[in-house]
Amino acid sequence: MALVVQKFGGTSVGDIERIKNVARRVLDAKNQGHQVVVVVSAMAGETDKLIRLAQQVTPDPDEREMDVLVSTGEQVTIALLAMTLKSMGCDAKSYLGFQIKIATDSAFGKARITGIESEKMLEDLRNGRVVVVAGFQGVDESENITTLGRGGSDTTAVAVAAAIRADVCEIYTDVDGVYTTDPNICPKARKLSRISYDEMLEMASLGAKVLQIRSVEFAKKYDVPIHVRSSFNDNPGTLVCKEEREMERVVVSGVTYNKNEAKIEIMRVPDIPGVAAKLFKPIADANIVVDMIIQTSSTEKGCADLAFTVPKTDFSKALQIVKEGVREIGGKEVLSDENIAKVSIIGVGMRSHSNVAAQMFSALAREGINIQMISTSEIKISCIIGSKYTELAVRALHDAFELDKPSVTEEK
């Protein structure tokens, strides 16, 4: 008998038939003798619909009220799933985040889980019930409802799994595992049977939305194995787990893309100490995460040009802050571009190989794709390119590193 957390994403609970399908899967696990906690997302498209409603009211909705609004999608699915389970003769009970409780900080729209009370869930499990938990939401110290950022139900699931010390966290979605790249844009993408936490962390943070990045952080920290699989078939999925020695032999294991960033360029700022600090401090104070930054010497003597990227959701706020800062420090011009994408290659084996960056740049050059910015770490290389080249770039990189061919690990 195992203690299992099963998470079902939006497409998997997209209509009543699919909710029935989910209930049948939960029942299967229960009938095999397992104890099951289920975490569900809102029905496909519902969260987007709620966001659009708010935008009809104002382009800049109050953040607290926004979380009250967007958290409602999950309330619908937990009730429908618990009802369905009961109608099939299986005792079940649904809970919202605050009822559990899933405690978070107060960063509305991107809150972090600070603690989960497990007693109520364990009590229900002891009584033979299936526990159905609303993903994506929590409650802060002042009892405000919070949400965890888009895709946050993954994080709810893994955090709940860590809290109740589950044996495994199963993430059921609309693809049957983690692939070398998004299978929906690259037909040659290959399913990985295993991937290390670190590589998955990089893939998630660089755009592979199959798992929310914080869910992988939790999994790594508390050593929760994640099994990513399809809710529509029984194919074996992908196990996200600790790094194993043979995984290191793979130089590049995945390609990702992210179209959710925008670029801000500040031209001809004085090239003197303290300028970058003055520009970036107010951006950090506004809780905006800056991703890539490059500084180059300007065509104008004694000046520098700065370019950086921020999430599109924070773009207008960041632009406004930068324009104020530039007025203060005496920069000449602020440019912006929302039509960019970041393509990245990832692999723990890059640590010990030198030629990877050159291979990546050549592959993009062969397709005539211009690289606007570059950033590297031990196990990834990212390039900013024009967003219209995204799919082409992903396929070219997938081909260049022959990711369609199984690696040593995958052959096992």
Closest CA to 38 of 94, 118, 122: 94
From 152-160, 200-208, 251-259, 364-372, give the range in contact with ligand ASP by CB under 6 A. 152-160
Q: Determine if 10 is a binding residue for ligand ASP (CB under 6 A).
A: yes
Nearer to ligand ASP, 11 or 409 (CB): 11
Residue ranges that bind Mg ion, judged by CB under 5 A: 9, 151
From 103-111, 147-155, 181-189, 351-359, give the range in contact with ligand ASP by CB under 6 A. 147-155
Kindly report the number of other CB atoms within 10 A of residue 161's CB atom: 29
Q: Determine if 209 is a binding residue for ligand ASP (CB under 6 A).
A: no
Find the Cα–Cα–Cα–Cα dihedral 232, 345, 200, 231, rounded to 10°. 0
Task: Answer yes or no: are the C-beta atoms of 44 and 153 closer than 8 Å.
Answer: no
Both tokens assigned to 357: 């960056």
Residue ranges that bind ligand ADP, judged by CB under 6 A: 9-12, 41, 151, 173-175, 178-179, 181-184, 208-210, 254
Nearer to ligand ADP, 151 or 331 (CB): 151
Residues in the interface with ligand ASP (CB under 6 A) total 13
Least distance from C-beta 32 to Mg ion, angstroms? 26
- Residues 6 or more apart whose CB falls under 8 angstroms from that of 408 comprise 246, 249, 250
Pick from ligand ADP, ligand ASP, Mg ion, none: which does 42 bind, CB < 5 to 8 A by kind? ligand ASP
Nearer to ligand ADP, 43 or 100 (CB): 43
Amino acid at position 160, single letter: V
From 26-34, 52-60, 117-125, 150-158, give the range in contact with ligand ASP by CB under 6 A. 150-158
Phi, psi for residue 317 in degrees, rounded to 5: -65, -45
Phi, psi for residue 78 in degrees, rounded to 5: -65, -40
Task: Answer yes or no: are the C-beta atoms of 38 and 21 closer than 8 Å.
Answer: no
Task: Answer yes or no: are the C-beta atoms of 172 and 25 closer than 8 Å.
Answer: yes
Nearer to ligand ADP, 142 or 233 (CB): 233
Pick from Mg ion, ligand ADP, ligand ASP, none: which does 181 bind, CB < 5 to 8 A by kind? ligand ADP
Pick from ligand ADP, ligand ASP, Mg ion, none: which does 94 bind, CB < 5 to 8 A by kind? none
Helices 16-31 and 72-87 sit at what angle, rounded to 10 degrees?
60
SS3 276: helix
Q: Give the binding site for ligand ASP (CB under 6 A).
A: 9-10, 41-42, 47, 73, 135-136, 150-154
